[in-house]
Amino acid sequence: TLTDAEKAAVLSLWGKASGDLEALGAEALDRLFRSFPQSKTYFSHFDTSPGSADLRNHGAKVLGALGEAAKSMDNLDQALSKLSDLHAYNLRVDPGNFKVLSHCIQIVLAAHFPAEFAPEVQAAWDKFLAAVSAVLTSKYR
Ligand code: ZNH
């Protein structure tokens, strides 16, 4: 679990990022698809070109879910329970994809908010994204 300082760091940068979920989310997905092309196989029904409506839509959903999770950092299992079912039972996304996406989200945050993305803020986000990913992949078997 995150310390109080880490939670505060996640929430403070989230405050900035939440203003533009579509653009930031689309960029994170574009980076995911380019750096880890296998990840595209889950999105064969999408237009995966950079900045497409599909990427903006889905990017906003993913980041929006992170924003909701950030409000429940003490209770991620419960907050993400439905999404955890979806990823484990319906989507069956290979867990390796979560690591790369988490990395890409951090790169997007660093590129857009360089002044805020201090090392301790990055460390907090890394821990937060790892915790979210752990819940979303916890029901796999
Ligand atoms: Zn996921 C979906 C979140 C990761 C794939 N997702 C989804 C959604 C959300 C999410 C919110 C929506 C749901 C509904 O609608 O209900 N994810 C998320 C998060 C994360 C993730 C938060 C982390 C961080 N995913 C992921 C990955 C992958 C995925 C890594 C692969 C690569 N997802 C997915 C898919 C889907 C989803 C495929 C479906 C889409 C459509 O629309 O179709």
Question: Average pLDDT, stretch 60-65?
Answer: 98
At 6-15, the pLDDT tens digits run 999 999 999 9
Atom of ligand 1 nearest to the CA of 63: 22
Work out the number of other CB atoms within 10 angstroms of the CB of residue 78: 11
Q: Predicted confidence band at 80 (pLDDT cuts at 50, 70, 90)?
A: very high
Question: Is there an atom of ligand 1 within 6 Å of 42 CB?
Answer: yes
* C-alpha of residue 7 to centroid of ligand 1, in Å: 23
Residue 96 Cα to ligand 1 middle (Å): 14
Q: Is the CB of 93 under 6 A from ligand 1?
A: yes
User: What pLDDT was estimated at residue 140?
Assistant: 82
End-to-end alpha-carbon separation of the chain, Å? 24
